[in-house]
Amino acid sequence: MSLLLGIGFWLSCWALNAAIAHSRFANRKSVRIAVPVLFGLAILGLWQGIVTGFSVPEVILPAPSSIGAAIGANLPILWVDFVQTILKGALTGYTFGVAAGCFVAVLVDRVPFLRAGLLPIGNFVAALPIVGIAPIMVMWFGFDWQSKAAVVVVMVFFPVLVNMVAGLSASDRMQRDLMATWGGTYWQTLTKLRLPAAMPFLFNGLKISATLALIGAIVAENFGSPTLGMGFRISTAVGQLALPLVWAEIAVAALAGSVFYGFVAAMERAVTFWHPSQRGR
């Protein structure tokens, strides 16, 4: 019966989603938000029906209701882990990584030989696996959140650098010549023409880095951490077969990552409202 209810709920949400998506209100902001919310609820309903209907063991896949109960029962633990991993590790590393990437991008643009020397090294370092970087950072910066922030800095720095360098070269040559004709200095051209033109490229790097920062902070905690943090909690809870708590941590991480990505996307729409990619949104 639970399986049939889950399938029925999923089909109902699917039909409602299809009707909304093809209605004359499809371009409204509230509708664009409602469609993915309904789709997510449909997935949760189907998930609950399958797990309950087939009596799937909790150690294999907990039901959404069990995960919700675990979230409610472990709110203090989840909050402490959220602060340690997201606010201290991921957000701090993201801020420093973005600032460093933008600064070095301007430096690379100003000093041409750095483009030939630094960018290939950057591509090499960006290809290094996190399992190789994290233990080194733990040895250098200790077991607390500082080493996780350092891992995030490394992961964020090069996507921002590459996108920012590409963005600084995106302005039209005629526009740069016009600035030179008006007697504009390098820094005037940079701030009034090239940096605004680079914003769409920069936000591409910021959105990519938003997910990398969260992944880096969580994975890095598996290589040394105090007795708190999402990565630490997930690894210890798996060992204790406390799968609802594991999924509760995953749910909190996914929600935090989605909110952070949405915040960056909202900033992109506010800053690059003039760009063709933002028209009609």
Rounded Cα distance between 218 and 222, Å, is 7
Is it the case that residue 37 has pLDDT exceeding 80?
Answer: no
Cut 0.85: pTM above it: no
Query: Do 107 and 119 form a contact (C-beta atoms < 8 A)?
Result: no
pLDDT tens figures, 224-264 = 777 788 888 888 888 887 888 889 999 999 889 888 988 99
Which ranges in the chain belong to alpha helices (H)? 2-21, 29-53, 64-73, 75-82, 91-110, 112-126, 130-141, 145-168, 173-181, 186-189, 195-220, 230-239, 243-271
Give residue 14's pLDDT: 64
Average pLDDT over residues 77-89: 90
Rounded Cα distance between 46 and 14, Å, is 11
Q: How far is CA 14 from CA 3, 9, 28, 38, 40, in A?
A: 16, 9, 19, 8, 10
pLDDT tens figures, 103-138 = 988 888 887 777 766 777 777 776 777 777 788 888
* Homologous superfamily in CATH for domain 71-278: MetI-like (1.10.3720.10)
Q: Higher pLDDT residue, 58 or 281?
A: 58
Q: Higher pLDDT residue, 274 or 49?
A: 49
Produce one character per residue of 223-237: b if its CB has 16 or more CB atoms within 10 Å, e if not: bbbeebbbbbbbeeb
As a whole-number percent, the residues of the chain with pLDDT over 70 amount to 79
User: pLDDT class for 91, splitting at 50, 70, 90?
Assistant: very high
In the block, which residue shows the tokens 């920069």? 202
